[in-house]
Amino acid sequence: MSRTLNADEAAACDSIRRVCADVLAPAAAEVDETSSFPQAQLAALAELGVWGLNLPDAWGGPGLSAMALAAGVEAVAGSCASTASALTAHYLATDAILIGGDDDLRRRFLPEAATGRKLGAFALTEPRAGSNPADMRCRAVREGHSYHLSGTKHFISNGGIADFIVVFAVTDPTAAHKGISAFVVEKGMGFTASPPEKTMGLKGGHVFELNFDTQVPEANRIGAEGSGFRTAMKVLDNGRVEVSAMCLGIAQAALDAATHWAGERQVGGMPLAEYQGIQWMIADMATQLRAARLLTQDAAAKRASGVRFSLEAAMAKLFASETAGKVADLALQIHGGYGYTRGLPLERHARDLRIMRIYEGSSEIQRTIIARHLLQTH
């Protein structure tokens, strides 16, 4: 399992980093301050083919490795986490079609999604449904060659903006997780979206409540009836690696800011960097971040191998999300009172990172996945 990028992948990631530095980073504070959806930033990434970074060339993507995908997501998140949130939500939608759909469905949606002509969303979460699929209330009832889809989804990134939404609903209430199916609901099919939620961080990565009372053609079902839960779990494995990469990007930005500040800020007649306590803080931050990066690379390499990587994805997501929060907090501490102000990016990094321990499965869920995997092998 290779953990290195080939020459083409390295060049692609360099191009992404340049656009991130030139377009995304200068606008990140304004996106946060105004809670504006990063349309221009996403358009700039679309010109590089980043919207299809997770797709093979057969379906419009560049055909890069999972390692390159993680590196690209890290670069985007380190420059503007809100843009990364919208982008990775799009990946969840296209991953679902790629993994669970037939060639006709892939042909209809993936090439346009890869080029940036269609934005996707992934609707699994519900207001009153936790991690147990039996709690899902959204229903899809067959009516001839279509389904009547009804119910509510909550906290759906891109949901009120997207051109298509992958929606999970119960088609057989007696079959628990085997009774869940997935559908592609297109804009104009008759659903409503709330105004964007007011969130603590990722303010430009808009999330919505969606209400469905919708007819969906049978041709828009992803895979066979009852295959939706299996598709969702595979997609979430992918998503957890991407969340890990987002954490790395934001935490690296925080660490870079802290090391720069320590070298420039004078206290007691000498730079902060001369104080052993600050040195130790930076050493701990860098070491923990490197460990998180290695776990993320391990999960990405396993993903690229084509075998199941739920354990590696859960470990990477758990460690990277919790480590990144600590790194950002220490970086803010090094900045002192200045770090607590909105004039510097540290407080934004800390707010943006807080959700990482919750979405794509909370830290508690990741621990459950890890423990179950280990206990089942004994």
Do 327 and 251 meet the contact criterion of CB atoms below 8 Å apart? Answer: yes
- What is the distance between the alpha carbons of residues 120 and 161, in angstroms, rounded to a whole number? 9
* Token duo for residue 28: 């990140």
Query: The tokens of 359 are what?
Result: 């979405």
Dihedral sign for Cα 278, 282, 287, 292, please: positive
Maximum separation of any 2 CA atoms in the chain, in Å? 79
**pTM for the full predicted model:** 0.96
* Helices and strands: H and E segment counts in the chain: 11, 10
What are the structural domains of the chain? 7-119 (1.10.540.10), 121-229 (2.40.110.10), 233-376 (1.20.140.10)
The region, left, alpha or beta by phi > 0 then psi within -120 to 50, assigned to residue 361 is left
**Residue 67 in contact with residue 304, Cβ under 8 Å?**
yes
Q: Which residues contact 107 (CB under 8 A, 6 or more apart)?
A: 59
- The tokens for 194 are 């709330």
Distance CA 339, CA 344 (A): 6
360 is catalytic: yes
What is the model's pLDDT at position 135? 86
Contact yes or no for 106/140 (Cβ under 8 A):
no
* Cβ neighbours of 274 (radius 10 Å): 14
- How far apart are the C-alpha atoms of 309 and 314, rounded to whole Å? 9
Tokens at 92, concatenated: 């969840």
Q: What is the pLDDT along the chain (378 residues), one digit of tens a residue?
A: 557 899 999 999 999 999 999 999 999 999 999 999 999 999 999 999 999 999 999 999 999 999 999 999 999 999 999 999 999 999 999 999 999 999 999 999 999 999 999 999 999 999 987 666 678 999 999 999 999 999 999 999 999 999 999 999 999 999 999 999 999 999 999 899 999 999 999 999 999 999 999 999 999 999 999 999 999 999 999 999 999 999 999 999 999 999 999 999 999 999 999 999 999 999 999 999 999 999 999 999 999 998 999 999 999 999 999 999 999 999 999 999 999 999 999 999 999 999 999 999 999 999 999 999 999 876
Rg, Å, the chain Cα set: 21
Residue 294's alpha-carbon distances to 70, 72, 300, 319, in angstroms, are 12, 16, 10, 11
Q: Which listed residue (225, 264, 360, 364) is catalytic?
A: 360
Q: Indicate the pairing of strand 207-217 with strand 146-157.
A: antiparallel
Q: Strands 164-170 and 120-123: what pairing?
A: parallel
Q: How far apart are CA 1 and CA 110, in angstroms?
A: 27
Q: Which two tokens stand for residue 62?
A: 């560049």
In the block, tokens 């659903």 appear at: 191
Q: What gap in Å lies between CA 202 and CA 83, rounded to an integer?
A: 8
Residue 15, both tokens: 């191009």
| Helix or strand holding residue 213 (H, E) | strand 207-217
45 with 83: CB under 8 angstroms? yes
> What pLDDT score does 130 carry?
67
Structure tokens at 304: 């690229």
Q: What per-residue confidence (pLDDT) applies to 1? A: 53
d(CA 193, CA 375): 42
